[in-house]
Amino acid sequence: MSDSYDVVVIGGGPGGYAAAIKATHLGQKVACIDKYINKNGKPALGGTCANVGCIPSKALLDSTWKFHEAQGELSVHGIDVGNVSMDVAQMIKRKDDIVEKQTGGVAMLLKANGVTWLQGTGKLVAGKKVEFVPHDGDAQVLEAQNVILATGSSPIELPMAKLQEDIIVDNSGALEFTEVPKRLGVIGAGIIGLELGSVWSRLGSDVVVLEAMDAFLPMVDKQVGKEALKNLKKQGLDIRLSARLTGTTVKDGIVSVEYTDADGEQTMEVDKLIVAVGRRPITEDLFSVDSGVNLDERGFIFVNQSCATDVPGVYAIGDIVRGPALAHKATEEGVMVAELISGHHAEINYDCIPSVIYTHPEVSWVGLSEEQVKAQGDEYKTGMFAFVANGRAVAANETTGFVKVVSDVATDRVLGVHIVGPQASEIIMQAVIALEFGASTEDLQLMVFAHPGLSEVLHEAMLDVDGKAIHSVKRKRRK
Ligand code: FAD
Ligand code: AMP
């Protein structure tokens, strides 16, 4: 094994492995160092996303939604499935099999593309060199023309809710419960808390979510957030806002949770507690003081728009840098950096990165919310259309929610699209394409959408901007 590479990537998550593959496509000699050891004690690629994040959480969300449907919703179709039960061990096994397939797939891709996978820990030191400490074997120093830092993030721990075996857990532990907790507490009503709370609530847990802020999903368009909150509560999630965790005690396998809300100090007892209060970038021991790399004021690695750090030839991508902590953002940054290193032009339109919450109904958005446009002082219009007035949604018995469009008055350009409802994670991609191409609402109004389709709701929302929606009784007057 040579110790000199064109590119050394530290971290094999969706940012790092995509950067490594793309760089080999462009003719570079690449090594990717990753230190992750999975629950079976084996090295595994794919990072948080494939091992304990996007993929396993969606596997459990899909299993539990099917269970929820079988329990009652299928009867409306005339389907009687009798008594339904959930084999939790089988559900977790299915999730583990999926994770194994995904992480194995990443390993296979690296091999097929000629990327050297180095299993162990990497650290950038002065002179753009990388110290590599393998899980087995002696430390070595790698020479690199370019280094990409992609070490991701880890869950924030709260001193008053220290993790404890399988009782007080983070997002990883919440994917491993062997039985359905009767009472489940979730700290933090962010995306991860809501998704994991939904998983166990659908299986019968009494779930209480404590959220310190008084606003629900403050990054989401207000109307969409309100609709999502209403539906999650209806599903049984007891979401308490302005409720700040202050302490926990575990006794006889039961967690006593102390928190404060508008009425003062409160306590509740739960059988399991998930702490989902955000994630922090993994930067400890990643670079030496004299490496030249700097952090920004929030503790992320400081980079410019092109993900370049303060050291020429050293880049940082994904959850360790500014911007949303999303797998697809990490991947696109990895691809961009591989292109730049190879002498090509590349950039990312950070204004067009979609976000999705995979609850039921799903929530998705891209671009600016009405509140953000209002705060900028720009003149804007909005259009809205509800799934309940859409034939495909009615046929599928999935009529919750709506699509909302925000557009610029002067140019008619689409500024943002916000969805709460069925297939929101898929429909949003049409909005991403529209924003990326600078489309006007008229451009989308004039397009032909297949009938019957959920995407027609997006079409009608675009029409509604000018009071032209066809299937609406509350039609706005045209100015
Ligand atoms: P990571 O995926 O964290 O990978 C970093 C890798 O680097 C890890 O393998 C780590 O072990 C390794 N590493 C760290 N330090 C070193 C070192 N010094 N040397 C060698 N290796 C090192 N995002 C979405 O877009 N959609 C979703 O649906 C979604 N769902 C999520 C659900 C959950 C429960 C969680 C926790 C996250 C979810 N995310 C989702 C976020 C997503 O997982 C992250 O944004 C994404 O994984 C970040 O990618 P990354 O490449 O920056 O880092
Ligand atoms: P996110 O960063 O999107 O994953 O969301 C984490 C959520 O946890 C945020 O909405 C925080 O306001 C919330 N949070 C952080 N600390 C506490 C706490 N002590 N009690 C309750 N909620 C908290």
Per-residue pLDDT tens over the stretch 228-242: 999 999 999 999 999
pLDDT > 90? residue 434: yes
Residue 384 shares a structural domain with residue 255: no
382: left (phi over 0), alpha (psi -120 to 50) or beta: beta
Q: What's the pLDDT at 475? A: 61
Which of 9, 45, 48, 357 to probe ligand 1 with, by most ligand atoms within 8 A of CB?
A: 48
Of the pLDDT bands very low, low, confident and very high (cuts 50, 70, 90), residue 73 is confident
CB-ligand 1 contact for 44 (6 Å cutoff): no
Return the structure tokens found at 227. 């609709």
For residue 161, being part of any structural domain is answered with no
For residue 126, being part of any structural domain is answered with yes
R_g (Cα) of the chain, nearest Å = 24
Determine the distance separating the centroid of ligand 2 and the alpha carbon of 370, expressed in angstroms: 24
| CATH code (residue 172) | 3.50.50.60
State the residue range of the domain holding 434.
353-464
Domain's final residue, options 317, 348, 379: 348
Residue 142 shares a structural domain with residue 185: no
Q: What's the pLDDT at 142? A: 98
Residue 74 shares a structural domain with residue 118: yes
Ligand nearest to the CA of 279: 2
Residue 361 shares a structural domain with residue 330: no
Number of domains within the chain = 3
Residue 285 shares a structural domain with residue 322: yes
**Closest ligand 2 atom to 210 CA:** 21
What is the distance between the alpha carbons of residues 91 and 207, in angstroms, rounded to a whole number? 19
pLDDT > 70? residue 478: no
The amino acid at 237: L
Q: pLDDT of 52-62, one tens digit each?
A: 999 999 999 99
Name the residue at shortest CA distance from atom 40 of ligand 1: 54
CB-ligand 1 contact for 153 (6 Å cutoff): yes
Catalytic residue among 345, 360, 451, 471: 451
Residue 305 shares a structural domain with residue 259: no
For residue 477, being part of any structural domain is answered with no
CB-ligand 2 contact for 211 (6 Å cutoff): yes
Of the pLDDT bands very low, low, confident and very high (cuts 50, 70, 90), residue 476 is low
Tokens 């670079």 identify what position? Answer: 287
Determine the distance separating the centroid of ligand 1 and the alpha carbon of 319, expressed in angstroms: 7
Of the pLDDT bands very low, low, confident and very high (cuts 50, 70, 90), residue 72 is confident
Mean per-residue pLDDT of the chain: 97
Return the percentage of the chain with pLDDT > 70, whole number.
Answer: 99
The residues that bridge with 405 in the sheet, in sequence order, are 383, 417
What is the distance between the alpha carbons of residues 392 and 395, in angstroms, rounded to a whole number? 5
Q: What's the pLDDT at 2? A: 47
Determine the distance separating the centroid of ligand 2 and the alpha carbon of 346, expressed in angstroms: 35
DSSP string, 18-30: HHHHHHHHTT--E
Name the residue at shortest CA distance from atom 19 of ligand 2: 245
CB-ligand 1 contact for 325 (6 Å cutoff): yes
Q: What's the pLDDT at 154? A: 98
- Using alpha carbons, list the distances in angstroms from residue 22 to 125, 149, 337, 379: 25, 15, 9, 42
Residue 21 shares a structural domain with residue 140: yes
51, 36 Cβ separation under 8 angstroms: yes
Helical pair 424-436 and 456-464, crossing angle rounded to 10 deg: 50
For residue 344, being part of any structural domain is answered with yes
Q: pLDDT of 312-351, one tens digit each?
A: 999 999 999 999 999 999 999 999 999 999 999 999 999 9
Determine the distance separating the centroid of ligand 2 and the alpha carbon of 112, expressed in angstroms: 41
Q: pLDDT of 165-212, one tens digit each?
A: 999 999 999 999 999 999 999 999 999 999 999 999 999 999 999 999
Domain's final residue, options 249, 277, 305: 277
For residue 475, being part of any structural domain is answered with no
Q: pLDDT of 22-57, one tens digit each?
A: 999 999 999 999 999 999 999 999 999 999 999 999
Residue 30 shares a structural domain with residue 147: yes
Domain's final residue, options 328, 348, 368: 348
- Using alpha carbons, list the distances in angstroms from residue 24 to 29, 128, 156, 201, 330: 6, 20, 34, 44, 18
Name the residue at shortest CA distance from atom 53 of ligand 1: 152
Going by DSSP bridges, is the β-strand pair 244-251/380-386 parallel, antiparallel, or unpaired?
A: unpaired
Biggest alpha carbon–alpha carbon distance for the chain = 74
CB-ligand 1 contact for 47 (6 Å cutoff): yes
Residue 72 shares a structural domain with residue 179: no
Q: Is 344 a catalytic residue?
A: no
For residue 125, being part of any structural domain is answered with yes
Q: pLDDT of 190-201, one tens digit each?
A: 999 999 999 999
CB-ligand 1 contact for 282 (6 Å cutoff): yes
Q: Which of 152-156, 367-371, 475-479 has the lowest mean pLDDT?
A: 475-479
Determine the distance separating the centroid of ligand 1 and the alpha carbon of 47, expressed in angstroms: 5
**Closest ligand 2 atom to 243 CA:** 21
Going by DSSP bridges, is the β-strand pair 355-357/362-367 parallel, antiparallel, or unpaired?
A: antiparallel
For residue 469, being part of any structural domain is answered with no
Q: pLDDT of 98-127, one tens digit each?
A: 999 999 999 999 999 999 999 999 999 999
Residue 16 shares a structural domain with residue 112: yes
Ligand nearest to the CA of 45: 1
For the segment 288-298, the average pLDDT, to the nearest whole number, is 97
For residue 474, being part of any structural domain is answered with no
What is the distance between the alpha carbons of residues 19 and 113, in angstroms, rounded to a whole number? 12
Residue 12 shares a structural domain with residue 151: yes
Q: pLDDT of 351-365, one tens digit each?
A: 999 999 999 999 999
Determine the distance separating the centroid of ligand 1 and the alpha carbon of 258, expressed in angstroms: 31
For the segment 250-273, the average pLDDT, to the nearest whole number, is 97
CB-ligand 2 contact for 197 (6 Å cutoff): no
| CATH code (residue 460) | 3.30.390.30
Q: What's the pLDDT at 473? A: 81
Which residue has better confidence, 476 or 396? Answer: 396
Q: What's the pLDDT at 28? A: 98
Residue 271 shares a structural domain with residue 285: no
CB-ligand 1 contact for 10 (6 Å cutoff): yes
